[in-house]
Amino acid sequence: MQQFDKLINYEVISPLIREGFERLPHALLFAGPSGVGKRDLAENLALALLCEAITTKNHACGQCAACRWMATGTHPDFRRITLDEAVSDESVTEASAGEAAVEKTADKTKKSKSRNIGIDQIRALEDFVFVGSHRSARRVILISEAELMTIAAANSLLKILEEPPASVYFILITNNQKNLLPTLRSRARVILFPHPDHPTATQWLSQAGLDDKAARYLARAGGAPMRVLQWKKNDQLAAIDALVDSLASSITDPLVLASRWEALLKSKNDKPFLMEDLVEGIQCWLFDLALAQATGEVHYHVGWPQPSHVKSPDPHLLLKAWRDINTFRRNARHPLNPLLFLESLAIHYLRALKPAA
């Protein structure tokens, strides 16, 4: 576990923590764009709240029973509510239809991931919140993607927040606080997480092992350092490099381009580079081509190879391709035929590079 105060954007919550936890609000809402460190700080705050041998700087000790349980995900006074645990209504019906137990187990793998955090997940917290704690006095509930709670779930949470026991802390995380119920927002102390400034984030990433490549990956991630760190952890940096190489190359045959992209998607690591990552990368590239045409600057590819072979592309064509590729992005999760999908993508991309007539 990293030192709490070495995390990116720590200064956003440090005023709350410096004083100790006695005056910490019982419901916190961490809001801001993705990739700026909300989750890391929330996890570390939860850890510090539960640690049984907190340091003088309010860091978790990393060694007590509570810290060890948190490390293995088994602390009895900690609950995590995420979309991953949510099961879509459809599959609940399937599972309760009374099939043989064996069939149910087989069925589990088919269950679709829900798009929402459901009321059952929140109701399941009631016992946890209103029955006493197992260890220290405190209990912590971390809710990720809080904006994806259904209205019923959010209302159920509101009820709990009306009279929370003194020792219970809720940390809600959202990338899109506008989609949260306003009543819920008003019940929580909203902590806004900005994009950290460029020099700070670059330095932070350099120290996290990105070295002299920190600045360019940060640009490619739209200024979100945690996103870069995720790419590094997932071993996806090489795929990102290779995608930019392919886009900056002078390949004009869509089949050749598509087969290069196909190779990127076939890496064998645990967190492969996905079709949607690829489509997003192409969109960022097209965005920059259009921006460069209009202003002479780029946003996502500062410090990356530039496409020397593209001579004065037509801005209208670029924008049209950018929009067309938006529809590809929607279908990128489950293309019927991945290679055909890539070829069509390559055709759209190459068409955008034609010089203005």
Binding site for Zn ion (CB under 5 A): 51, 53, 60-61, 64, 67
Query: Angle, nearest 10°, between helix axes 275-295 and 237-248?
Result: 50
Q: Tell me how far, at minimum, the Cβ of 51 lies from Zn ion, in Å.
A: 3
Of the pair 64, 152, the CB lying nearest Zn ion is at 64
Q: Tell me how far, at minimum, the Cβ of 47 lies from Zn ion, in Å.
A: 8
Of the pair 167, 259, the CB lying nearest Zn ion is at 167
DSSP collapsed to 3 states, 292-347: HHHHCCCCCCCCCCCCCCCCCECHHHHHHHHHHHHHHHHHCCCCCCHHHHHHHHHH
Of the pair 65, 294, the CB lying nearest Zn ion is at 65
Whole-angstrom distance, CA of residue 275 vs CA of residue 335: 9
How far from each other are the two terminal CA atoms of the chain, in whole angstroms? 57
Q: Tell me how far, at minimum, the Cβ of 164 lies from Zn ion, in Å.
A: 24
Query: How many CB atoms are closer than 10 A to CB 304?
Result: 20
Can you tell me which residue has the tokens 């801001």?
A: 32
Q: Tell me how far, at minimum, the Cβ of 128 lies from Zn ion, in Å.
A: 21
Q: Tell me how far, at minimum, the Cβ of 77 lies from Zn ion, in Å.
A: 13
Of the pair 13, 51, the CB lying nearest Zn ion is at 51
Of the pair 7, 47, the CB lying nearest Zn ion is at 47
Whole-angstrom distance, CA of residue 256 vs CA of residue 120: 50
Q: Which amino acid is at 219?
A: A
Whole-angstrom distance, CA of residue 212 vs CA of residue 215: 7
- Residue 170, SS3 per DSSP: strand
Q: Tell me how far, at minimum, the Cβ of 19 lies from Zn ion, in Å.
A: 20
Q: Tell me how far, at minimum, the Cβ of 67 lies from Zn ion, in Å.
A: 3
- Residue 171, SS3 per DSSP: strand
Of the pair 140, 229, the CB lying nearest Zn ion is at 140
Q: Which amino acid is at 337?
A: N
Beta-strand relationship, 139-143 and 189-192? unpaired
Of the pair 75, 227, the CB lying nearest Zn ion is at 75
190, containing H or E segment: strand 189-192
In contact, 275 and 265? CB cutoff 8 Å:
yes
Beta-strand runs (E) in 32-72: none
Of the pair 49, 168, the CB lying nearest Zn ion is at 49
Q: Tell me how far, at minimum, the Cβ of 52 lies from Zn ion, in Å.
A: 6
